[in-house]
Every structure is written in structure tokens, then in C-alpha cells.
Amino acid sequence: MFEQYKLPYAYDSLEPVIDALTVETHYSKHHAAYTKNFNDFVQKAGLEGKSVEEILSSLDSVSDVAIRNGLRNNGGGYYNHNLYFSTIAPKAGGEPVGILAEKINAAFGSFAAFKEKISALAAGQFGSGWAWLSVDKNGALVLSATGNQDNPISLGTGCKPIFCIDVWEHAYYLKYRNMRASYIQAFFDVVDWNAVARLYESAAR
């Protein structure tokens, strides 16, 4: 059974960046539904015991189209939101330090340049989707954006995601309405760069 990431913070603790009702709905309705539906599809596909990464990186081996799409969408929703909720925190924000900061500077020139590039990808993603910071096969940092609940694993890029921005309207619409760019800008005030740095270190190993 895949279990939803347990939130170590209260629904209202990301205020004013993300309002309590959005966090509660996002976590207890959307993420919970992806988790339940993913488990149902894993059972239908007979893939119990595999990791979510193994399942998402070998979707082509599932011959039934409905089950494959169910695994892709709900497995992506499960994985993506585990990453999302575990890389934000109350009283966070700021900039990364240490190796992650060095790697961001090396790859993008500066933290400000990185922020500008990933924000543009997030803002420019047409419709629902995500922007990603990932580690590629050679340990380099790369940026991307994907539609729906796709991610760099399910798209077979060989990259491991370490940070994401959810740009589905359910992530921001109650507070920010149509102003996605304002949400993206504010979102950086709740990013837990220590959590992202831990993911970088395990992905780059």
C-alpha cells in the first residue's frame, strides 16, 4: 500500500502564502484521491511491491490502456504531491546553502536566475501541470515543465525530481484567482530548501 506523505505542519501554517482551505482541500481531497486511486490501479495491474518510481518509469509494460493511464495520472498525482508537500514548510523560503547552492549557481548563474527560469516555465505551462528542478543521469541540475500529472520519471527522462511547483488551479485559485504569476512569486516564501538539498544529495549520489 502506498501511503500519502504525512503533513508535519498544520493546514493554516503556510498562511499567508497558501491559505488554509487550499492546503486542506489540496491535501485531504486531491492528494488523498490520487493516493487511493493509485493503490486501486496498482492492485488491478498486479504491481504490488514495486516502488512508485519503478511503476512510473515502466508504464509501457502495462498493456491495458485504461490501467496504464490510471497508473500514469494517479501515480503521478501521488508522487508529485508527496514531493510538493514535503518540500514546503512554514517559516521557510530564503535561498539554499551549501552544495545545492553551488550547483544552482553553476547550472543557472545565480539563485535569482534559477528562480526566474523556473518561474517562467511554471507560468508558461499551458493548462494544468508542474515545473520541475531535477537531477539528470550525470548529476547535473535541469529544469522542465510537464502537463497534467506527468513528471520527469513518467516521461522517461532518467531525471530525478527534487523540487516542483504545482500550477494546477487547485493549488492557488481560491486565493490568487487567475493570477498564477503572483502565486508562483509568493510560493518561494514557503520552499524548504533544506528538504530540497537532502533530495539533491540522495539523487546525485
Integer Cα distance of 59 and 154 in angstroms: 7
CB of 157 to Mn ion, least distance (A): 21
Integer Cα distance of 164 and 77 in angstroms: 12
Q: Which residue is nearest to Mn ion (CB)?
A: 166
Q: Which is nearer to Mn ion, 131 or 171 (CB)?
A: 171
CB of 170 to Mn ion, least distance (A): 5
CB of 187 to Mn ion, least distance (A): 12
Residue from 88, 154, 166, 167 touching Mn ion (CB under 5 A): that is 166
What DSSP assignment string belongs to 72-123? Answer: HHHHHHHHHHHHHHHSB-TT--S---HHHHHHHHHHHSSHHHHHHHHHHHHH
Region near Mn ion per CB under 5 A, out of 65-73, 140-148, 163-171, 187-195: 163-171
CB of 168 to Mn ion, least distance (A): 5
Q: Which is nearer to Mn ion, 122 or 141 (CB)?
A: 122
Judged by CB under 5 A, does residue 168 bind Mn ion?
yes
Q: Which is nearer to Mn ion, 168 or 183 (CB)?
A: 168
Judged by CB under 5 A, does residue 150 bind Mn ion?
no
List C-alpha distances in Å: 152 to 23, 66, 137, 160, 174.
24, 21, 12, 7, 28
Region near Mn ion per CB under 5 A, out of 14-22, 55-63, 159-167, 197-205: 159-167
Cβ-Cβ contacts under 8 Å for 166 (sequence gap 6 or more): 26, 80, 81, 84, 130
Cα dihedral sign, 39-23-165-110: negative
Interface with Mn ion (CB under 5 A): 166, 168, 171
